[in-house]
Structure 1
Amino acid sequence: MSVHSGASDAEAGLSETNDTTVHTQDPQPDTKARRRWLEWNDTWAWEIGSVTLAVVGIALLVAFLVTINNTPYANWQYTASPNTIVSIIVTITKAALLVPVSSCLGQLKWNLFQDPAPLYHMQAIDQASRGPWGSMEILLGGLFGSRTGILTYVGAMLTILALAVDPFAQQILTIPSRTVPALNATAFTQTSQNWWYSDQSDVHLELPPTLLTAIISGLMQTHRPLEPKCNALSCDFPEFIAMGMCSKCEDVTARTDQKCQVEEDTSFWDSDRGPIHPALEKIPTNCSYQTPSNFSFEFPHPQSMSIGPYYGIKSEDWRKNDNVTMYPNHWSLRPRANVPILDIQAPIVSLVEVDYLNPIHYIVSNATAPPTKPSVTECAIYFCERQYAASTYQATTQNNSPAHVASTQELIVKNHEEEQPDILSEQIFYFNPPKGSKTLSKDSTYSMDHLTFNSFRPFMMTLFNSTTNINRFDPPLSDTLKLASFLRRGDISEILESMSTSVTDTLRKNGNGTKVHGKAFRDERFIQVRWPWIILPVVVTLGSLALLLGTAVRSKQRGAVLWKCMVLPLLSSRLETTPGDKIASVRSADGMTAESKNMRAVVVRDEGPLTFKEKL
C-alpha cells in the first residue's frame, strides 16, 4: 500500500495537446534568472543578518551600560529613562536572535530524516520552531528517551530561555543612593586654645556673663551641646583639640577612715516611750572621718532617731525599747582651694560630697558595732585640654550626640605658685601640662586672661559650699542659688561633667577661636549596573550564533536542502508506507500522533517528487 501523487489523465491529454499546438506569440528571450534581493530563502543570509543584529545589539547594550554605570542620575537629561533604553535594545536583540533559532529548528527536522527517524519527530521539531510549548515537548521528550539530536535540544532550550530575557533585562539597572562630597557646602566646628575677655565693664570683677550662664546651665543639665556648622546631609570632622574645663569624681567611701566612740552625754537617749535598753547606750554614735585627700569631718550624734519598733520587728516586741533607728539626714558638698586630689595637681576647686541619708538600725546584739559609713565622693574641677575624636555629624538627625572626648590632659598655669592676686591685672596666664606630662597637641599654646582665671575659683568656692540637714529648719550654708536640693538628688559626677562640657563649649566658640574644617557630604541617586543580570541575554545571543553555525555545517555535511520552516515541501511530498499501515485513513490528532510515533521514515534521495519512505 502506498500513498503517492501522479499526473492525471487530463494532464496527460493536455500535455499531448500542448505538444501539437502552434505558438503564434513571439518567443521570449532565454534570459538567465536573476536573484532578487528578497530571494535568499535557500541560503542562510537572513539568519546571518539576524544573528549579526543580535550580536550588535548585545555589544551596544554593553557599551551603553559601561557608559552610564556609576553616573549620577541627575545627569541623565533624556525623556526616556535608562531602563527604557535597555528594554528597547534587549527587545530588538531578542526578536533578532529568535529568527535564526526558529530557522535552525525548522532545518533540523529535515536534517533528521536524512536517516531513518520516527515520523512524529517531524511534527515535534516543527512545533518547537514555532514557540516555547513545542520546545518544552522536545526537552521533555529527550528526558524520556526521544532522541532528536543535540542541536535540536539547544534550539529548544534557547527558545525557552528567550522568555526570561526581558525580566532579566529589567534587573540590570538600579538607581540607589550614595554619599558624595557636597561642593560649596559649609562644614566646620569651633575650637579655641585661648580665652581673652577684654570687656570688663559689665562683669564687676566676676566671671563674664557667658561663662556664668555656661556654669549654671551645665549644673542644671539644660546645656545644649555645641553643634558643628553643617548645611549638607552629613559632615565628617577630623580629630581636634581644645582648651576647656574637666571634672573627675571617685567614690572613696571604702578608703575613708572612720573613728567612732560612745557618746558621753546620754541625755539624748531619753525617750517618751520609757527607758532604753542599757546595751543600746553603748552605741558609738560620735564619729569622725578622714578622706584619702585628708579632708576631715565629724558626726557627733544623729540628727534624729526613733526608739522602739521599726519595720521588720515582730508585733509582740512593739512594747520593748530594745532597738534604735537613727536618721543622720545629712548631705553636704565641701569645696577646697589649692588641694591636689585624685592625681590632679592644681584643680580650680576640689570637692568632697558626703551623703548620709540612709537610716541606721541598731538592736541589742549589734549595739557596739560602729555605724555604717556615709557615702563619700571626691571630685576635682580643673583646666584641661580635650582631645575630640574624629566624628560624623548628621544634620538631619534630631538626636545627635556631642563630639566624643577621646582623651584629656590637665593644664596648670606656668609658675602658678607666683599667681598674682590682683584681679584687675591685665596679665595673660599661659598653661602647661604638669611636670612629667606632655600636651596632647604639638606646639600648642593655651592662655587665659587674668580676670577670668582668677574669678573661677572664688565663684565655685561659693557656689559649691552647700550643706543640708534634712527635716531641720536650719537653712543651707550656701546662699548661692540654693543648689543643695538639686545637687544631692543627682549623680554629682554627671552634673560636674555636664558643667565642664558647657564651660568648654563656651570657651571653644569665643572670638579668639579657630575653625576646624570638615568634609560635607550629600546623597545623590546614581545609575548602577548589576552585571550578573546581563549574563542570560549574552548567553542566549551567543547560543543562537553557535546554533546557526552548527546547523549550517550539519546541513552541508548531510547535503540537505535548506527548506527550514517551509511547509510547502510537505504539501508536494508523498509518503510510501508498508502494506497494512493505517496512517492515511486516520482522522484524529491523537490517532495520527500515535501512528506517527510507531513509524520510522527516511527521505528518499532521487530526482522524483519528495518522498518519505517507511523503514521497518
Structure 2
Amino acid sequence: MATHPPYSALHDGQSESDLEVDRFENQASPRMSVHSHANGGVSEIDSTDVHMYPQIDAETKQPGFDWSGSWAWEIGSVTLAVVGLVLLVAFLVTINNTPYATWKYTVSPNTIVSIIVTITKAAVLVAVSSCLGQLKWNLFQNPAPLYHIQVIDQASRGPWGSLEVLLRGIFGSKTGSLTYIGAFLTVLALAVDPFAQQILTFPPRTVTALNATAFAQASHQWYGTGDSDGSLTFLELPPILVTALLSGLLQTHTPLKPRCNASSCKFPEFITLGMCSKCKDTTSQTNQKCQVPEYAAFWDKVHPAFRETPTNCSYQTASNFSFDFDGFQSTSYWDSNSGLDGFQSTNNDNVMFNMQHWSSRPRENNTIFDIQTPIVSLIEIDYTNPVFYTLSNATAPPTKPLVTECAVYFCERRYSASLYPPGTQNSRPMQVVDTQQLIATDVPKESRTKSSTIPVYFAPPDGSATLSKNPSYSMDHHTFNSFKPAMIRIFNNTTDLTQSDVLDLTTFLRKGSLSQLLDSMSTSVTDVLRANRLGKPILGKAFRIETFIHIRWPWIILPVIVTLGSIALLLGTAIESKRRKAVLWKCMALPLLSSHLYTTPENETASVRSVDRMTDKWKKMRAVMVQEEGPLTFREK
C-alpha cells in the first residue's frame, strides 16, 4: 500500500508518472509525416500520409464469468457441507441399532463418520474464511481502525485470529456482528471432531439366540418300570428315589438345572408334581405331666428335699403324639457351700440331670397341621440340654425337651418365571413360589401280581383348587406305597448321646435342622420326579450377548450448528456486500499492494520499521475505503 502526502504538488498537480505519460504521448512517431499549413500556423496531420504498423484484425473477446469475484465457490462449499451432513445422518440412520457383526467392511463405522465430518468441516471453513475475508473490506465502507484489517485477516486464517477477534469484541473493539459470528464458527469448528467421536457407541445387548437349547423339566406323573418276577424287591422304592431321599437328607443333592446352551435363558412359570414338607416347633404346645419316681439311686447322695423332685414325666403333643421319660441318663451333684464332690457328702444341694436323648419317631397317615394324608408325619425329640436343680426349685418339674413335628406329603409345586445365567456360582433360578397339597384318591390294594402301571391319582383336598390348569396327577401304586415304609425306616431313629457316636443317618439328622433337611429331601425327590421319562419340557427362550451399533444423536448437534451457521453467515455477508456495492475481494491480499493510503503527516508510517510502533499507529488511525475510478484508496478520517 503506497503512501503519498496529499499536500505536495508535482508540476502543477501532476505526478511524475503523469508527466512521463505526457512526454511519451507528445513525442512524434518516426512513422508519421507531419505537414504544416500556412493558414493559421496550425499543423495538421494528413491521415493519408501517416504510415502505421499493420493493424491486426482481432475479434473482441467477451468477458467470462468472474468465478473468483462471485460467491460461486462459497455456495458450492456450503452445498457440499449440507450434502455431507445429509449423508452423515443417512449413514447413521442406516446403521443405528444394527448388530456390529453385520458390518462387513474393513473400515470401521467410526472411520466413515470421521471422514464425512472432516469433509463437512473443511467445506464449512472455506465459506467461513471467505466471508471473514470479505467482511474486512466491507468494514471500511465506514471509518474504522486500520488495525482491523490485520485482525480480521488473521481470523480468516484460523482459530487463533478468530479467538483474538472474540476477545477484542469482549473488551469493546467493534468489528461487526457478522465478523463475530464467523470467528465464533471458526473456533467452534475445533470441537466438531471430538463431538463426532462420541456419536457412535457399541453397547452389548441380549438378543434371541436361534438354534439354541432352552427348556426346563416338569412332570405330572411318575411310572416306574417295576419288576415282574414277584421277588421281595418288587415293593421296594426304586433306587433312584432312594438315592434322592438320602442325598437330600445329606444335603449333597445337586438341584436340577434347566438346559441352556446360550448366554442366558428365560423360562416361564410352570407347575409340576413333587414332594413337600412342613415343620413346626411345638414345644410350647406340648403338655407335660410329671410325677415323683418311686425310687432314685441319687437320693442317698443329695439333700432330702430332692426326694420330691418330679422326674418321671409323660408328654403329649398338639397332634396327639405321646412319649415318656421315666429317668435321666446321668446325674451330677455337689455341695454349693463346700464345693466338694458329691461322693464325699450326703447333703448336696445342687443337682444337674442329663437326659442325653435325641429321637425321631415317624407315624403313618396321621393328620398333622393342615396336612390331611401325609406320606409320613414325624416328631423330633431333642433332650440334650441339662436340667439344673437347687433347693429353691426342688419340687418343680424339669424343663421340656425341644419338640418339632413335621409332615412329608405329595404336592404340586409352582416355579416362578426366571432368567437363568449358566456358569453363575450358587445360582438357583428355579424358585418355588407356591405349593398345594395333593391327596391320593382310589388307591388300589398292594399286590405283587398287579402291574406297576396301575395308577394312583392325586387331587387337592376338598374345597381346594389346583395350581395347574391341567390338574391330572398320577403315580404307579407300587412307588406310591413304597414311599411310606422307606421313610419310616429312615426316620425311626433314637440315639443315646452318652455312647460313642457312629457314622449313621442319625448323626446327620441330629446335627442339622430337621426343617432344612426335609426341605432339601423334598426338593431332591421333586427333581427326580420332574426329570422322569414321562415329563414334558417347558420351553424357554435362549439369549446371547451381541454388540450393537448405537447412535447418540445429541452429539450430532454441533456439526449441524456449524453447518447452518456457515450458511447464515454466507447469506448475511453476501447481502451486506451487495448493499454496500463492495467488490468481492474476499481473502485476496493483492488489492492492498496496489492501493493508496493517504494519511496526515504525523501518522506517516512509511519509515516505521518496528512491529509494535506500526501496530500502535494502525490502531490509532481510522480510515475509510474509497472505491471510485482509479486506484483503491484508504483515506484517514
- Normalised by the shorter chain, which TM-score bucket? over 0.9
1:231 and 2:256 matched: no
How far is the alpha carbon of 1:8 from its aligned partner?
6.6
How far is the alpha carbon of 1:268 from its aligned partner?
3.0
Conservation of the 8 A alpha-carbon contact between 1:178 and 1:523: yes
1:454-603 to 2 correspondences below 5 Å: 454-472=481-499, 482-603=504-625
Conservation of the 8 A alpha-carbon contact between 1:574 and 1:612: yes
Conservation of the 8 A alpha-carbon contact between 1:429 and 1:448: yes
Which residue of 319, 323, 331 corresponds with 1:297? Answer: 323
Show CA shifts across 1:286-336 (max 9, x none): 222211111111222221121127xxx798687882212222211111100
1:32 and 2:61 matched: yes
> 1:76 is matched with which residue?
103
3-state DSSP class of the match of 1:190? strand
Q: What stretches of structure 1 move > 6 A for 4+ residues in a row? A: 5-8, 313-320
Output the CA distance in 2 between the equivalents of 1:365 and 1:29: 147
Output the CA distance in 1 between the equivalents of 2:585 and 2:624: 16
Deviates more, 1:134-143 or 1:277-286: 277-286
Output the amino acid matched with 2:303: H
Which residue of 308, 311, 324 corresponds with 1:282? Answer: 308
Output the CA distance in 2 between the equivalents of 1:92 and 1:237: 51
1:65 and 2:72 matched: no
1:377-388 to 2 correspondences below 5 Å: 377-388=404-415
Which residue of 417, 425, 432 corresponds with 2:450? Answer: 425
With the length of structure 2 as denominator, give the TM-score of the two structures.
Answer: 0.89
Output the amino acid matched with 2:544: R
Which residue of 390, 398, 404 corresponds with 2:431? Answer: 404
Conservation of the 8 A alpha-carbon contact between 1:192 and 1:508: yes
* Cα distance change of structure 1 residues 458 and 576 upon mapping to structure 2, 3 Å threshold: same
Conservation of the 8 A alpha-carbon contact between 2:420 and 2:429: no
Conservation of the 8 A alpha-carbon contact between 2:299 and 2:306: no
Conservation of the 8 A alpha-carbon contact between 1:287 and 1:299: yes
Conservation of the 8 A alpha-carbon contact between 1:425 and 1:451: no
Conservation of the 8 A alpha-carbon contact between 1:423 and 1:450: no
Output the amino acid matched with 1:13: E
1:151-550 to 2 correspondences below 5 Å: 151-200=178-227, 203-270=233-300, 275-308=301-334, 321-415=348-442, 419-422=444-447, 424-426=449-451, 427-472=454-499, 482-550=504-572
Output the CA distance in 2 between the equivalents of 1:95 and 1:560: 26
5+ long unaligned stretches in structure 1: none
How far is the alpha carbon of 1:579 from its aligned partner?
3.5
Deviates more, 1:463-472 or 1:393-402: 393-402
3-state DSSP class of the match of 1:580? helix
Show CA shifts across 1:535-555 (max 9, x none): 111111111111101110111
3-state DSSP class of the match of 2:602? coil
* Cα distance change of structure 1 residues 352 and 371 upon mapping to structure 2, 3 Å threshold: same
Conservation of the 8 A alpha-carbon contact between 2:234 and 2:448: no
**% identical equivalent positions:** 63
RMSD: 2.3
Show CA shifts across 1:462-482 (max 9, x none): 110001110137x99xxxx83
How far is the alpha carbon of 1:415 from its aligned partner?
4.0
Q: Greater CA radius of gyration, 1 or 2?
A: 2
> 2:24 is matched with which residue?
17
Output the CA distance in 1 between the equivalents of 2:562 and 2:419: 48
> 1:4 is matched with which residue?
4
* Cα distance change of structure 1 residues 368 and 440 upon mapping to structure 2, 3 Å threshold: same
Output the CA distance in 1 between the equivalents of 2:448 and 2:436: 27
How far is the alpha carbon of 1:574 from its aligned partner?
2.0
3-state DSSP class of the match of 2:544? strand
The size of the alignment, in residue pairs, is 598
Show CA shifts across 1:478-499 (max 9, x none): xxx8311111100111111111
Output the CA distance in 2 between the equivalents of 1:58 and 1:269: 106
5+ long unaligned stretches in structure 2: 32-51
Conservation of the 8 A alpha-carbon contact between 2:262 and 2:542: yes
> 2:48 is matched with which residue?
none
Show CA shifts across 1:331-365 (max 9, x none): 11110001011210010000111111122222222
Deviates more, 1:326-335 or 1:576-585: 576-585
How far is the alpha carbon of 1:209 from its aligned partner?
1.2
Output the CA distance in 2 between the equivalents of 1:137 and 1:184: 64
Output the CA distance in 2 between the equivalents of 1:32 and 1:16: 31
How far is the alpha carbon of 1:15 from its aligned partner?
6.1
